[in-house]
């Protein structure tokens, strides 16, 4: 169904390109615990790729491998057709990979605006001296990047809280601010770890809409982890299913839904 090199057009008319990220035989162990067992999958340009599976399946660990936070014992990460050498997380960020976290990781002591501005750190190059006197490049960069950030703030409809300290925000808005910070980096690949966990129905709908809009308007490639099967089926182009660190399914939502192993894994979860 999928051609290895070229892309395809989805039912709703979005263009999916070639492979941008490829995980090859990744194995990740924590002492005796094998969090990821020999998993391979790829992510195509412009697609929304979901990773699902019961708790403890190794989904977050997989995102952590992609963002350079965990170094797998075995396997290779290929990005844009090149094998990625071992990298620090900030170097991965500079390659155009941004993410949100399962447990919100905002900078609690800073305002919403400052949090989102940190997303643009990689676009700010003014030296210490220019910043100290607040002239030239420093001042110019601040204004330019503020403009970019304001666009994202508008896009995610958080104008009214831009000067609010993050610590005062309710959970749902924090999730949105975290998405704003990731988007501010204008990433090529956006990783979302359970962006809708703990949200009510209305908030989930908002978040789904934002994710689709990001993908649609900016053409951002998205890999997301989600529990809610309904949401996953609606949002994603292709799904990886993990269970106990192993990959037990990979394909379109329909293919995955009818996969017996996947059904068993999910029924198993429902029973305990």
Partner 1 sequence: MFYREAGDFKTSYVADNQTFPIKFDRYRYYAVLVVAFGIIPFVINDYWANALLLPFLIYAIAAIGLNILVGYCGQVSLGTGGFMAVGAYACYKLMTAFPEVSMFIHVILAGGITAAVGVLFGLPSLRIKGFYLAVATLAAQFFLVWLFNRVPWFYNYSASGQINAPERDVFGIIITGPNAPAWATYLFCLIFLTACAVIARNLTRGTMGRTWMAIRDMDIAAEIIGVNPLKAKMTAFAVSSFFVGISGALFFALYLGAVEVGEAFGIQKSFLVLFMVIIGGLGSIFGSFAGAAFLVLLPVVLKVVGADMLGWPTDIVAHLQLVIVGALIITFLIMEPHGLAQLWRVAKEKLRLWPFPH
Enumerate binding residues for ligand ADP (CB under 6 A).
30, 33, 35, 53, 55-61
| Binding flag, residue 171, partner 1 (CB under 8 A) | no
Nearest to 187, CA basis, from 150, 214, 227: 214
Mark 121-150 with x for binding to partner 1 (rule: CB under 8 A) and - for no binding.
xx-x-x-x--xxxx---xx-xxx--xx--x
- Of these partners, Mg ion, ligand ADP, partner 1, none, which one is at the site of residue 126 (CB under 5 to 8 Å by kind)? partner 1
Mark 172-201 with x for binding to partner 1 (rule: CB under 8 A) and - for no binding.
---------xx--x----------------
Site for partner 1 in 58-97 (CB under 8 A): 67-69, 88-90, 92-94
Q: Which is nearer to ligand ADP, 5 or 103 (CB)?
A: 103
Q: Which is nearer to Mg ion, 60 or 215 (CB)?
A: 60
Q: Which residue has the tokens 């708790």?
A: 55
What DSSP string runs through 6-63?
Answer: S-EE-TTS-EE-SEEEEEEEEEEEETTEEEEEEEEEEEETT-EEEEE-STTSSHHHHH
Q: Half-sphere exposure (CA, 13 Å, Cβ side) for 266? A: 16
In this structure, what are the phi and psi dihedrals at residue 20, rounded to the nearest 5 degrees?
A: -100, -35
Q: Which is nearer to ligand ADP, 111 or 236 (CB)?
A: 236
Quote the least distance from Cβ 261 to ligand ADP, whole Å: 17
- C-alpha distances in Å from residue 161, one per residue of 32, 35, 51, 154, 249: 45, 39, 32, 11, 41
What DSSP string runs through 117-177?
Answer: HHTTGGG----HHHHHHT-THHHHHHHHHHHHHHHHHHHTT-GGGTTSBGGGS-HHHHHHH
Structure tokens at 103: 């447990």
Mark 34-63 with x for binding to Mg ion (rule: CB under 5 A) and - for no binding.
--------------------------x---
Residues that bind partner 1 (CB under 8 A): 67-69, 88-90, 92-94, 98-99, 101, 105-110, 114, 117-119, 121-122, 124, 126, 128, 131-134, 138-139, 141-143, 146-147, 150, 181-182, 185
Residues that bind Mg ion (CB under 5 A): 60, 102
């Amino acid at each position: 169904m999928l051609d290895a090199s070229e892309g395809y057009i989805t039912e709703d008319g979005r263009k999916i390109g070639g492979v941008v990220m490829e995980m090859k035989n990744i194995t990740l162990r924590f002492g005796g615990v094998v969090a990821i067992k020999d998993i391979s999958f790829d992510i195509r340009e412009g697609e929304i790729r979901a990773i699902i599976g019961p708790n403890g399946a190794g989904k977050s660990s997989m995102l952590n491998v992609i963002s350079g936070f965990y170094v797998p014992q075995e396997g290779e990460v290929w990005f844009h057709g090149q094998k990625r050498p071992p990298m620090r997380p900030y170097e991965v960020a500079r390659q155009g990979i941004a993410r949100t976290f399962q447990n919100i990781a905002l900078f609690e002591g800073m305002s919403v605006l400052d949090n989102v501005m940190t997303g643009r750190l990689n676009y700010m190059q003014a030296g210490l001296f220019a910043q100290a006197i607040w002239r030239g490049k420093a001042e110019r960069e601040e204004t330019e990047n503020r403009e970019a950030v304001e666009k994202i703030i508008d896009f995610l409809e958080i104008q009214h809280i831009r000067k609010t300290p993050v610590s005062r925000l309710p959970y749902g808005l924090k999730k949105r601010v975290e998405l704003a910070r990731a988007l501010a980096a204008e990433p090529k690949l956006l990783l979302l770890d359970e962006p809708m966990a703990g949200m009510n129905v209305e908030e989930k709908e908002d978040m789904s809409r934002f994710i689709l809009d990001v993908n649609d308007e900016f053409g951002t490639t998205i890999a997301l982890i989600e529990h809610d099967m309904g949401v996953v089926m609606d949002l994603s182009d292709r799904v990886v299913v993990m269970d106990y660190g192993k990959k037990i399914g990979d394909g379109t939502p329909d293919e995955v839904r009818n996969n017996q192993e996947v059904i068993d894994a999910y029924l198993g979860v429902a029973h305990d």
